[in-house]
């Protein structure tokens, strides 16, 4: 779904804001540095146009010049990340819950808080348990496939049908490869089964708590 650099961006009908965002989208882990000329070729725009985009983004602190006439993401991104860490409602609600849960997990465990981001799953917070810790590759900000792994399954299971239908139409082959069904009805049934299993597990845990000493 996401490759380094990607295809050239088509600008027909796009606003100037859309075009500025397309420049930011060029900066990835795989390719964190871009020159104005390279960006112009990738985006299919003229050099002067790309220069204007870079100048505006630099002025806002969203990108910064480095050596070799290249640019990287800028300090405004760090400032925004700090604001998210402090004020994001999901993070604020989840942190205490995760701190309460992690002592109940086994040694070396990690709790992850993840969310849907476009057609991927993103880790936004993690809490490490006691004991020796193996490196957790699914770190904050990392994007993972939407149709692979337990985290993705739970997120998919609780998405509304209005979101799932276009998602299936756009990713039918990948969904089939992941074992989620070869058609829309099978896909819906698989997700309904996941919801039912999770609901049953929750009822069993509540029963166990009530029946304890």
pLDDT digits (tens, 9 = 90+) for 79-116: 999 999 999 999 999 999 999 999 998 888 889 999 99
Cα separation, 34 vs 19, whole angstroms:
16
**Residues 72 and 88 placed together within one structural domain of the fold:** no
Instruction: Say how many domains are in the chain.
Output: 2
| 199 neighbors 207 (Cβ within 8 angstroms) | no
Cα separation, 19 vs 10, whole angstroms:
9
Rg of the chain's alpha carbons, rounded to an integer? 22
**Residues 109 and 183 placed together within one structural domain of the fold:** yes
**Residues 184 and 117 placed together within one structural domain of the fold:** yes
Q: What is the pLDDT of residue 148?
A: 87
Report the CATH number that the domain containing residue 50 is assigned in CATH.
1.10.10.10
Within-domain flag for 127: yes
Q: What is the pLDDT of residue 12?
A: 52
**Residues 102 and 68 placed together within one structural domain of the fold:** no
**Residues 104 and 200 placed together within one structural domain of the fold:** yes
Question: Which of 57, 78, 99 marks a domain boundary?
Answer: 78
Distant-in-sequence, close-in-space partners of 94: CB < 8 Å, separation ≥ 6: 113, 125
**Residues 54 and 150 placed together within one structural domain of the fold:** no
| 26 neighbors 5 (Cβ within 8 angstroms) | yes
Report the CATH number that the domain containing residue 203 is assigned in CATH.
3.30.450.40
Within-domain flag for 11: no
Within-domain flag for 10: no
**Residues 38 and 120 placed together within one structural domain of the fold:** no
Residue ranges in the chain modelled with pLDDT below 70: 1-13, 198-213
Say what the pTM is. Answer: 0.73
Within-domain flag for 9: no
**Residues 88 and 190 placed together within one structural domain of the fold:** yes
**Residues 133 and 171 placed together within one structural domain of the fold:** yes
**Residues 189 and 113 placed together within one structural domain of the fold:** yes
**Residues 94 and 72 placed together within one structural domain of the fold:** no
**Residues 100 and 71 placed together within one structural domain of the fold:** no
Terminal alpha carbon distance of the chain: 51
Domain residues for the domain of 70 are 16-78
């Amino acid at each position: 779904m996401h490759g380094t650099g990607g295809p050239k961006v088509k600008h027909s009908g796009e606003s100037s804001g859309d075009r500025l965002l397309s420049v930011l989208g060029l900066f990835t882990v795989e390719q964190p540095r871009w020159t104005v000329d390279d960006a112009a070729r990738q985006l299919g725009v003229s050099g002067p146009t790309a220069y204007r985009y870079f100048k505006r983004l630099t002025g806002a602190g969203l990108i910064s010049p480095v050596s070799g006439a290249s640019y990287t993401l800028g300090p405004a991104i760090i400032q925004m990340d700090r604001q998210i860490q402090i004020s994001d409602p999901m993070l604020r609600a989840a942190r205490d819950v995760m701190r309460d849960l992690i002592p109940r997990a086994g040694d070396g465990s990690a709790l992850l808080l993840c969310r849907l981001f476009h057609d991927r799953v993103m880790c936004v917070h993690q809490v490490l348990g006691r004991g020796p810790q193996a490196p957790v590759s699914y770190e904050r900000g990392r994007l993972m496939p939407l149709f692979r792994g337990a985290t993705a399954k739970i997120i998919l299971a609780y998405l509304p049908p209005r979101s799932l239908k276009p998602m299936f139409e756009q990713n039918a082959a990948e969904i089939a490869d992941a074992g989620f069904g070869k058609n829309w009805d099978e896909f819906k049934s698989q997700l309904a089964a996941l919801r039912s299993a999770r609901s049953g597990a929750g009822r069993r845990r509540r029963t166990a708590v009530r029946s304890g000493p």
